[in-house]
A and B are shown apart, each in its own frame.
Chain A
Amino acid sequence: MADKVIYAMYDDDDVLKDGAKKLVSKGVKVSEVFSPFPIHGIDPIIGVKNTRLGIMAFMYAITGTLLATIGMRYFMIVDWPMNVGGKPNNTYLQNILAFIPITFEFTVLCAAHGMALTYFLRNKTLPGLPAQNPDPRTTDDKFVMELRLSENSSFTEEELTALLQTTGYVELDQKVLN
């Protein structure tokens, strides 16, 4: 189904934020905002949920801690116990102090890289992927709000344009998506 998209461009983040607030209070669904930097406070207005990447980072961290512990216990206690000056490694717990630094480093390694990979995949940002911002100026000093007609079935195109008129945009553009 063909869908019509309206792009309203602003030259100030606060103008866009106020405009979005106004539109949302009238019942308009703002599908997306493209901006050159994070606009603080826009997410609750347009209904973007907070990311759960933090929880993922914690899970990757736990994985790292476990892997390091299991690995070092196998290498140093089970497979090839070291006998240093007649003091053999009998249990992991008795020797844990020497294993703390690597446990910590490996935890950080797994958490950081796991989170970074998840971030790239969830954002769909990977080397060579095409950019999807509607206008090249949105990475410079312009801010674009995207309204989809299919998501605003209670409004006609004219009504939406009229509402946008009150928000102080600098340019208006339309596109038909297939």
Chain B
Amino acid sequence: MHKESAIREPLILGHKTYGDITSDVCKPIEDKAPKMWYILFGIALVIGLYGVGCIFYLLGTGIGVWGLNKTIGWAWDITNFVWWVGIGHAGTLISAVLLLFRQKWRMAINRSAEAMTIFAVFMAGMFPLIHMGRLWVGYWTLPLPNQFGSLWVNFNSPLLWDVFAISTYLSVSVVFWYIGLIPDFATLRDRVKRPIPKKMYSILSFGWSGRAKNWNRFELVSLVLAGLATPLVFSVHSIVSFDFATSVIPGWHTTIFPPYFVAGAVFSGFAMVQTLMLVMRKAMRLEAYIHTRHVEYMNIVIMVTGSIVGTAYITELFISWYSGVEYEAYAFINRFSGPYWWAYWSMMTCNVISPQLMWFKPLRRSLLFTFIISIVVNIGMWFERYVIIVSSIHRDYLPSSWSMHYPSHIDLGVYVGTIGLFFVFFLLFARFFPVLPIAELKTILKSSGESYKNAPDTHHHSEESHNNNNQH
């Protein structure tokens, strides 16, 4: 077993036993849902249904109901798509990259971060589908034999790479998440008393029995999936950035895009994890498992990725001047001083300045401050995509085509609706699924649990060693 330094803060606070972990995670599922859950679920459902209504209106009428025009052919739809995909990057990063780096603190947040990822990618995937206008021909993006002389999809196009990247990412994330969930569903199956939930968890747990060989395979599959998912995470947002970077639009065709987008995705994804976790730990009384130390670790990731994003902003600004290409230079001058200056400066403030505050230890350990910054960051990251997309195309090469983008109420409704749907999914997840990986948390209890950590080195944790340790 790994021995952790005594001065390192424990990851599981309090004097938890294996049984405590099980009951702490299962209790919110077994109890009646609190009134607050119904209120939040109701609000999210209403907003989500409004969004669904807007989508139906859009599909029935055509994408002319969006605020697009001849010059600005891509605006809120792609902005929202990239925003949601970016948010959907934290979960797999936490579970895959941090697993490879053997970061034990990921155990507290990986399950819900992965759920968040999957729901965010659902929301993201909806935008490219509905922007086709004819949703029912969405399968045309796949290389299927057809009656048009077998006209294939264009494998040279980054938009098609996106189809493969997003669908691979979504399906692999679901599998990774579900393989981790199976042993925890088995725990629930063996605990719940009421017949219907018992039947449901019994089906969901696939008959998991926890044999030694099962666990041996489980550990290897987790490791290999993490190894596969790590480059996948980086590839997905690189490919999303290719949608822009391989074009010839000034402001888009920059080689810095892939790393810059990946850093931005991790940045916004972690911010969304913070927003959700800070509420969830309180509402579900999981403060012993997700505490200040975890929040601080995540804030450090936000600070680092925020700094990368900031460096990228300044680099592209400098290069646009240094390149000597006047169109490129103009695109950037227009960004910060043109009609979209307010979007640019909102982005700069939210994404470059706010994460720098995390250098101060009291701030990055403050839960309230973290909560505020996490929301600010996601607002900033939305503006980043809006700035990149709209400000680069709204002033075309011909000044006679110059235009502005004004979102219609359908633009707004679809966007707000996806936020509602996202929370509908997340609240359902928090209600019926184990929000912490029960089995994995038990593996770190003896190395990072408060009552075991600094106990004298003995295998048999008798009552005395617990009591001795209490005096720390």
When the two chains form their complex, are residues B19 and A140 in contact, meaning their CB atoms are under 8 A apart?
A: yes
Q: In chain B between 1 and 48, which residues have their CB closer than 8 angstroms to a CB of chain A?
A: 1, 17-19, 22
When the two chains form their complex, are residues B179 and A119 in contact, meaning their CB atoms are under 8 A apart?
A: yes
Contact mask for chain B residues 435-458; partner A; CB cutoff 8 A; 1 contact, 0 none: 000111011001000000000000
Closest-CB distance, A30 to chain B (whole angstroms): 9
* Cross-chain contact of A112 among B152, B182, B228, B242 (Cβ < 8 A): B228
Closest-CB distance, B179 to chain A (whole angstroms): 6
Complex CA distance for A75 and B189, rounded to whole angstroms = 48
Number of interface residues of B (CB under 8 A): 71
* Cross-chain contact of B206 among A51, A72, A129 (Cβ < 8 A): A129
Contact mask for chain B residues 207-229; partner A; CB cutoff 8 A; 1 contact, 0 none: 11111111111111100110011
Which of A41-49, A147-155, A156-164 forms contacts with chain B? Answer: A41-49
> Is B465 in the interface zone, CB < 8 Å from A?
no
Query: Which residue of chain B has the shortest Cβ distance to A72 in the bound complex?
Result: B155
- A-B pairs under 8 A by CB, number: 208
When the two chains form their complex, are residues B17 and A112 in contact, meaning their CB atoms are under 8 A apart?
A: no
Contacts of B361 in A (CB 8 A): none
When the two chains form their complex, are residues B228 and A108 in contact, meaning their CB atoms are under 8 A apart?
A: yes
> Is B283 in the interface zone, CB < 8 Å from A?
no
When the two chains form their complex, are residues B189 and A98 in contact, meaning their CB atoms are under 8 A apart?
A: no
Which of A1-9, A10-18, A169-177 forms contacts with chain B? Answer: A10-18
When the two chains form their complex, are residues B235 and A104 in contact, meaning their CB atoms are under 8 A apart?
A: yes
* Contact-residue size bin, chain A (C-beta under 8 Å from the other chain): 35 or more
Question: Given the known A-B contacts A37-B443, A98-B155, A112-B175, are A141 and B17 also in contact in the complex, defined by CB atoms under 8 Å?
Answer: yes
> Is B61 in the interface zone, CB < 8 Å from A?
no
> Is A132 in the interface zone, CB < 8 Å from B?
yes
Question: Given the known A-B contacts A42-B212, A120-B206, A125-B182, are A101 and B217 also in contact in the complex, defined by CB atoms under 8 Å?
Answer: no
Binding site for A on B (CB under 8 A): 1, 17-19, 22, 143, 149-156, 158, 160-161, 164-165, 167-168, 171-172, 175-176, 179, 182-183, 186-187, 189-191, 202-221, 224-225, 228-229, 231-232, 235, 239, 242, 438-440, 442-443, 446, 459-461
Binding site for B on A (CB under 8 A): 12, 14-15, 18, 32-40, 42-43, 46, 48, 50-51, 53-54, 57, 61, 71-72, 75-76, 79-80, 82, 84, 95, 98-99, 101-102, 104-106, 108-109, 111-113, 115-116, 119-120, 122-133, 136-141
Q: List 11 A-B contacts (CB under 8 A).
A: A37-B442, A38-B443, A50-B216, A101-B242, A108-B168, A113-B171, A127-B204, A129-B206, A131-B208, A136-B190, A140-B190
Query: Closest 3 CB pairs between A and B?
Result: A129-B207, A141-B18, A136-B190
